Amino acid sequence: MVVKDKYADEFVGIYKELEDWHKKALQVFSRYRFDRILYIGCGDGHFSILLKEACKAKEVYGIDISEKGVNLARQKGVKAFQMNIDKENLPFEDNYFDAVYAGEVIEHLFDPDHFLEEVYRVLKEGGSFVISTRNLASLYNRILLLFGFLPNAMQSSLRYDVGHLWSSPKEEGRIISAADHIRLFTYRSLVSLLKIYGFNVRQIIGLKAASPAPSSRLFKLIDDIISKFPRLSAGILAVCEKGERI
């Protein structure tokens, strides 16, 4: 599997339910009315349309590294562009968007600083930036580290699954699961970095564990409780407003 095409099928087909970060992003966007929005990491464009509907946007744009994903998104009416946000500048004018969404993207980047600079540049003054990522300091990861296991969002090898509580051999050379998580964040580090790049953090929302996760009722109950505490939750979603750079 080619890394750049891995995310193209993220929303292909009919899903019984979205991930928690999708649901909570929709809840946030439904509070506002935006004319023009951008989804970074848009995949096949399915969720881009849901975001557009949630905030009654007139235009929705998308960015993805996958050519396949961009083509599928365009078929759905998303104004999508293929590019590598790690290395390239966003193909938009300054102050172009009312809102930008980046769900589970920043942890895959070598250069999150360039990414945040570009988001800041294309956002209008006072525009909204919604971003989510896994939480390195989640209660789950703290417990795993206590017993000598790797956090689920980390990998020690691109070829073999080693060090996790439930490790299984990987097909050599195949990058799957969290193997491409390059930059990991805690509540504190994410908030600090956002502030440095001029984003006023208005709200931090805790996220539940991502799929695959244990399906037992007990785990779901515990996970629901933990998600109420963003410093300990499996993931974090930040709702920001473009302010002034430090």
**pLDDT tens per residue across span 122-132:** 999 999 999 99
Residue 129 sits in a domain whose CATH number is: 3.40.50.150
How confident is the model at residue 111, as a pLDDT? 96
Residue at 172 is within a domain: no
How confident is the model at residue 17, as a pLDDT? 67
For the question of whether the overall pTM of this predicted structure is more than 0.85, the answer is: yes
Average pLDDT over residues 156-162: 80
Residue 202's Cα: distance from chain center in Å? 18
Domain range spanning residue 17? 3-134+181-211+235-242
The residue that leads in pLDDT, 13 or 166, is: 166
Do residues 68 and 8 make contact, with C-beta atoms less than 8 angstroms apart?
yes
Residue at 220 is within a domain: no
Q: How many domains is the chain partitioned into structurally?
A: 1
Residue at 113 is within a domain: yes
How confident is the model at residue 116, as a pLDDT? 98
Residue at 170 is within a domain: no
Residue 12: is its pLDDT beyond 60? no
> Secondary structure of 27-81 in the HEC alphabet?
HHHCCCCCCEEEEECCCCCHHHHHHHHHHCCCEEEEEECCHHHHHHHHHCCCEEE
Residue at 105 is within a domain: yes
How confident is the model at residue 4, as a pLDDT? 47
Q: pLDDT averaged over the chain?
A: 89
Residue at 78 is within a domain: yes
How confident is the model at residue 11, as a pLDDT? 44
Residue at 187 is within a domain: yes
Find, among 20, 53, 32, 56, the residue nearest to 240 by Cα. Answer: 32
Residue at 48 is within a domain: yes
pLDDT band at 167 (very low <50, low <70, confident <90, very high): low
Q: What tens digit of pLDDT does each residue of 54-104 get?
A: 999 999 999 999 999 999 999 999 999 999 999 999 999 999 999 999 999
